[in-house]
Structure 1
Amino acid sequence: MGANDPQFITVGTGATTRRIACLAAPAAGDHASSLLWLTGLKSDMVSTKAEALASWTAERGVGFTRFDYSGHGRSEGRFEDAVLSDWLEESEAVFRQMTKGPQILVGSSTGAHVALLLLRRLIETAPDEAERIRGLVLIAPAWDLTELMWSQLPEDGQREILEKGRWVRPSAYDPAGYVITRRFIEDGRRHLFKDSGFDPARPVLVLQGAEDRDVPIEHARALARSLSGDWVRMTEVPDGEHRLSRPQDLARLYALINELL
């Protein structure tokens, strides 16, 4: 098996069973921590930032695990059939089955929301597993994703979702756009952080572009007010946009990860 040949784990039961594609590079020697990468919406585990992190961690002997959500990349399923609950279930399965030792969760956009959800679930249901998470590094965090999405939809998009159950949202990253379903929005409302009083109990380091149109900087700033415990610290990039994939952006990302390593 080559370095870029994925392993597959099975998640779900019965009709919900799906194979999830993963790439895992173990830490070299006795390195203290590894990274778990949680990708953005409609992205995959071989995106620009993921590949950059793969090279950066390999050079330093840091373990690095990444995977594709269902409906993404090389994993099974259709994008429009998936909901946040599915991606959370898959993230927990990858964390438990594919990682060992201390981990730093690194999430981009939607992946930042999933990282927070994974931490909260493990704190509530598997505190010993949660102890392995040393901190989070979040890039353009689309926390409370579905509420952010809903607030950005035009009235005709909201109406079509409510009346027809789906709407195709135009995307600067995909000429075909992508489908937002009513089921996706309603499921996401089960996973909100605003007013929840959730205490992550470990550092949450945020990298955010001031020119980001997908996740406005005020939305990212509000994360610190929505989590308790004074754990969130922002690094704002004045000329940064949503992707934050330029060499200077990646250098900032590596610096934040190094703080937790």
Structure 2
Amino acid sequence: MPDTPIVFAARADGVRLAYRHLPGRGPTLVFLPGYKSDMQGGKAQALDAWAADQGVGMLRLDYSGCGESDGAFEDGTLDIWRDDVLAVLAAAKIGPCILIGSSMGGWLMLLVAEALGAQVAALVGIAAAPDFTDWDFDAADRATIAANGRIERPSDYGYDPMVITRGFWQSGQSNLRLTGQIGIDCPVRLIHGQNDPDVPWETSLMLAAALRSADVQTICVKDGDHRLSRDQDIALLIDVVGKLAC
């Protein structure tokens, strides 16, 4: 079937944010991609196809500087991308929703959920990576960011190099969430591969402990990697989301 058409939401500064909204019954699934990813990833498209088949609403989006959205990627920060998500949800007139965050998107889903409150019916993290500016950068990395305004790392995910700017790193440090209780009360499901080379699977255990909600489940995939994009991983994701949405 043809893909849902792209629509644009305009930020106050004129930057256009691309999104695809599949109307359907709620709560609407909202997919938040990872760092330097977009709404055309395999997990997002698989969920969209399932949602279309089930008559469930779904929204996919590109943060500014990513995919089809305007802007420069290196201008992005967690605060900016959180506000991008909120702007798109408002433009699309999304009501109750389930936020599904992959990797960095799992950090953003916490920030968005805090902003939206009771509008969020549930959260699903896929290798969620909250606070990675804190635990993934040693003293030498921080010195490089301070001196050069950025750090570059090789990437195994189709782009090279992976660039972290001083602005993004600072926004991460001001949005740490694993330092205390996270005031979110909705159901939360956290899926994490135990062969993840990028985000330690124990991060999901720490996140589960920090969430105030009592309805939190952590699902560890023993042979799963960071992407969790194999057929069996996608089937697991759809099963988890389906139980929350239906």
Normalising TM by the smaller chain, what interval?
over 0.9
The residue type equivalent to 2:88 in the other structure is V
Counterpart in the other structure of 1:138? 125
Give how far 1:178 is off: 2.0
For residues 37-52 of structure 1, the aligned pairs below 5 Å read 37-52=31-46
Q: Are residue 148 (structure 1) and residue 148 (structure 2) matched?
A: no
State how far apart, in whole Å, the 2-side matches of 1:220 and 1:99 are.
31
Counterpart in the other structure of 1:60? 54
Q: Are residue 85 (structure 1) and residue 79 (structure 2) matched?
A: yes
Among 28, 42, 48, which residue is 1:34 paired with?
Answer: 28
Q: Are residue 114 (structure 1) and residue 98 (structure 2) matched?
A: no
Query: Does the residue aligned with 1:45 lie in a helix, a strand or coil?
Result: coil
Counterpart in the other structure of 2:231? 247
Contact 2:185-2:214 at 8 Å conserved across structures: no
Contact 2:5-2:20 at 8 Å conserved across structures: yes
Give how far 1:167 is off: 1.4
State how far apart, in whole Å, the 1-side matches of 2:159 and 2:242 are.
36
Relative to structure 2, which stretch is displaced further, 82-91 or 229-238?
229-238
Among 3, 22, 25, which residue is 2:22 paired with?
Answer: 25
Contact 2:42-2:229 at 8 Å conserved across structures: yes
Contact 2:185-2:211 at 8 Å conserved across structures: no
**Pair 1:207–1:99, CA change in 2 (3 A):** farther
Counterpart in the other structure of 1:207? 191
Counterpart in the other structure of 2:89? 95
The residue type equivalent to 1:164 in the other structure is N
State how far apart, in whole Å, the 1-side matches of 2:185 and 2:90 are.
20
State how far apart, in whole Å, the 1-side matches of 2:154 and 2:93 are.
36
Structure 1: 5+ residue stretches without partners: 124-130
**Pair 1:45–1:32, CA change in 2 (3 A):** closer
For residues 162-241 of structure 1, the aligned pairs below 5 Å read 162-241=146-225
Query: Does the residue aligned with 2:137 lie in a helix, a strand or coil?
Result: helix
The residue type equivalent to 1:7 in the other structure is V
The residue type equivalent to 1:19 in the other structure is R
The residue type equivalent to 1:193 in the other structure is R
**Pair 1:53–1:9, CA change in 2 (3 A):** same
The residue type equivalent to 1:213 in the other structure is P
Counterpart in the other structure of 1:73? 67
Contact 2:152-2:161 at 8 Å conserved across structures: yes
Contact 2:103-2:126 at 8 Å conserved across structures: yes
Relative to structure 2, which stretch is displaced further, 135-144 or 99-108?
99-108
The residue type equivalent to 2:237 in the other structure is L
Counterpart in the other structure of 1:126? none
Give how far 1:242 is off: 0.4
Give how far 1:146 is off: 1.9
State how far apart, in whole Å, the 1-side matches of 2:34 and 2:103 are.
5
Contact 2:183-2:212 at 8 Å conserved across structures: yes
Give how far 1:135 is off: 0.4
Give how far 1:99 is off: 4.2
Query: Does the residue aligned with 1:91 lie in a helix, a strand or coil?
Result: helix
The residue type equivalent to 1:133 in the other structure is V
